[in-house]
Structure 1
């Protein structure tokens, strides 16, 4: 009994991600950076992946360089996905957490004029990017690991003209559910996190495009839809990602975690 209590006390004293190896795609953005800071605070080693190295270098200015690896990669390219996984494993060892967070928005436009190339590009980043991340991470992941895919409140609703983004966010849920069933035997948990509107540059660009399309203030339009009456912050979303990444969610897989201020209620 005494030994068991000692084990429990020792586990409680450890940080939530002590010595864990984590990959974050979309690492140069506000949510990727917020998650990286939390992961590092909890003892993790983190590989930050983004399309452009300048964005990564700017993000990394506030991070401890000895536990951070910066990798420039296009998540929609298989060779790049393989490379960022291999480089992470070579630097830090087997993968414990994948936070598939890279994203783009596209445009808002009626279906008859929605550009096919825009639709394809958005699917490539969100859907193919998450698929390739899992494809190459899973063989390098420890049993008992965690995969978190950033979907959106948009993954459970529809809005006129948002064809590429909303389709991609729905598709990510299907990918997550397939992975959750397949990887359960290895105790690898797979979930999607669904932010509502976040106070960041990505969301502002969305709101400006939507506002122009519908002739109103896009930010105010979203705030009126949120029961809590405001946008979330990257840190608020990142805390939910940390929950899914850590053993605190050890019996949580195949689920959609809404972090949207009640927007989907």
Structure 2
């Protein structure tokens, strides 16, 4: 039997990178998946790549009305949500002295506020024993110059996972943080840096892993399957690094 047979999953930011790779894996393991993203064209292309058992719902996790619309559609079509992978996130490179209020707010609105309300609004649809997965970052442990706002937003997820795990104990809903290390995703191309600086940053970060390379998104997706499945029922409130040793040694 497939690991996620008959499960209903939500993946925010499911149109690319780790979210898309995880959606593919979830469908392969028997789940029906709803993916979200802000850009309809990218969502449609992602749904085509996944191929089956997927619905793409355009929306921004920072906009609560969009989340309400998502969950109303899921409620009317499926009646429940078994897995929530709060994966959507953004990052902008900026030294502390150059961080504008608008930059700070946009990152926290997606990475913290968006995660909070993605989970809060899912809870009425989640059966006892469901799984919530928050997508963290190894940089939240290691620290990197120019990324303090992004790193702080990802560090907040650790507090969410601990608090929610205790709060949701009566419902046996387990909440964990999946913490990728350097991974080949579009986020680097959206960091606001010239291409040569992005290449230099990626080379430096890759050298800090024990493998010397970035992860493929599918390597992170495999861990997301584990945390969504009954194989991980005794893992609760944990931070699971999948980072090539980036923040471990």
CA distance in 2, matches of 1:72, 1:55: 10
Whether contact under 8 Å (2:9, 2:84) holds in the other structure is: yes
Pairing partner for 1:129 from 99, 106, 114: 114
Q: Is the 8 A contact 1:98 1:148 kept in 2?
A: yes
User: Which portions of structure 1, spanning 4 or more consecutive aligned residues, are displaced by more than 6 angstroms?
Assistant: none
Root-mean-square deviation over aligned CA pairs? 1.8
TM-score scaled by length of structure 2: 0.94
State the alpha-carbon separation in 2 of the partners of residues 89 and 16 from structure 1. 23
SS of equivalent residue, structure 2 residue 175: strand
Alignment correspondent of 1:96: 82
Aligned with residue 28 of structure 2, among 33, 41, 62: 41
Pair 209,128 (structure 1): closer, same or farther in 2 beyond 3 Å? farther
Larger Rg belongs to: 1
Structure 1 residue 57 corresponds to structure 2 residue 44:
yes
Q: Is the 8 A contact 1:106 1:119 kept in 2?
A: no
Match of 1:22 among 9, 24, 48: 9
Between 202-211 and 76-85, the greater mean CA deviation after superposition: 202-211
Structure 1 CA distance, aligned partners of 2:110 and 2:195? 21
CA distance in 2, matches of 1:31, 1:135: 22
CA distance in 2, matches of 1:134, 1:151: 15
Q: Kindly indicate whether residue 47 of structure 2 is the aligned counterpart of residue 72 of structure 1.
A: no
- How far does residue 211 in structure 1 lie from its aligned partner after superposition? 6.4
Count how many residue pairs are aligned between Structure 1 and Structure 2: 248
**Displacement, 1:163?**
2.0
| Highest RCO, 1 vs 2 (Cα 8 Å, sep ≥ 6) | 2
Unaligned runs of 5+ in 1: 1-13
TM normalised by structure 1 equals: 0.89
Query: Any conservation in 2 of the 1:75–1:81 contact (CA below 8 Å)?
Result: yes
2:209 touches 2:246 (CA, 8 Å); kept in 1? yes
Specify which structure has the higher proportion of helix. 1
2:163 corresponds in structure 1 to 178
Q: Distance in 2 between matches of 1:64 and 1:19?
A: 17
